[in-house]
């Protein structure tokens, strides 16, 4: 099964790297909203309205000698706790369990958080070590395993894999009902119950 997940992740990565242009703001917003769906029930359970959810890459910073997440001032100026899921450049989750983390807002971040200025692009990033993020405990939300009866019309003809879209792949990998194929969304929703 891990082979299939890794293969699918590689296919999506290849498709993303074949793009001639970076993701548009609208595409990024759509991907983030799809990633958010996975954590929506957690936010509802914790009574967190309008959470600041920002999927982010983490990387090793030699100066700090640790893995960090970089934030822009525009992301920190909201003065709210930030919830993240670790993703790669293609916005694919780097964590097979798709765990949610929280950084507790520090009102003094401009003086307490390490800054990195990009001379070429003329912006400052605030580097927060991964160790400063708290894993959100979702154990209270987990349901006991149930046998799931997936209702699939046995007479339904299967579609060729060539008709699989990037959105369909995302829906399958992230177990999110975001496909334009209603039958696929229905299967995912039944599986997530």
Beta-sheet pairing, 66-72 with 123-129: antiparallel
Identify whether the C-beta of residue 171 lies closer than 8 Å to the C-beta of residue 188.
Answer: yes
Alpha-carbon distances, residue 9 vs 13, 15, 183, 192 (angstroms): 6, 10, 23, 20
pLDDT digit string (tens) for 70-119?
A: 999 999 999 999 999 999 887 888 888 889 999 999 999 999 999 999 88
Mean pLDDT score of the chain:
81
Q: Which residue has the higher pLDDT, 53 or 170?
A: 53
What residue spans define the domains of the chain?
2-142, 145-193
Rank 1-5, 11-15, 141-145 by mean pLDDT and report only the highest.
11-15
pLDDT at residue 50 is higher than 80:
yes
Residue 131 has a CB neighbour count (10 Å cut-off) of: 9
- 140 CB-near residues (< 8 Å, 6+ apart): 45
Alpha-carbon distances, residue 24 vs 19, 111, 127 (angstroms): 11, 32, 25
How many angstroms separate the CA atoms of 189 and 192, rounded? 5
């Amino acid at each position: 099964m891990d082979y299939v997940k890794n293969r699918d992740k590689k296919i999506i990565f290849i498709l993303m790297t074949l793009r001639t242009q970076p993701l548009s703001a609208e595409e990024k917003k759509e991907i983030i909203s799809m990633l958010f769906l996975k954590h929506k029930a957690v936010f509802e359970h914790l009574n967190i309205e309008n959470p600041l959810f920002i999927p982010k890459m983490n990387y090793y910073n030699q100066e700090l000698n640790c893995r960090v997440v970089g934030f822009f001032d525009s992301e920190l100026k909201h003065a709210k706790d930030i919830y993240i899921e670790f993703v790669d450049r293609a916005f694919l989750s780097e964590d097979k369990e798709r765990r949610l983390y929280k950084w507790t807002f520090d009102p003094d971040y401009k003086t307490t958080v390490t800054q990195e200025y990009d001379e070429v692009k003329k912006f400052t990033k605030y580097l927060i070590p991964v160790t400063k993020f708290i894993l959100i405990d979702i154990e209270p939300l987990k349901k006991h395993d149930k046998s799931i009866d997936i209702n699939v019309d046995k007479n339904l003809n299967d579609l060729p894999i060539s008709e699989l879209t990037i959105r369909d792949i995302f829906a399958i990998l992230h177990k999110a009902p975001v496909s334009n194929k209603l039958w696929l969304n229905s299967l995912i929703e039944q599986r997530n119950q």
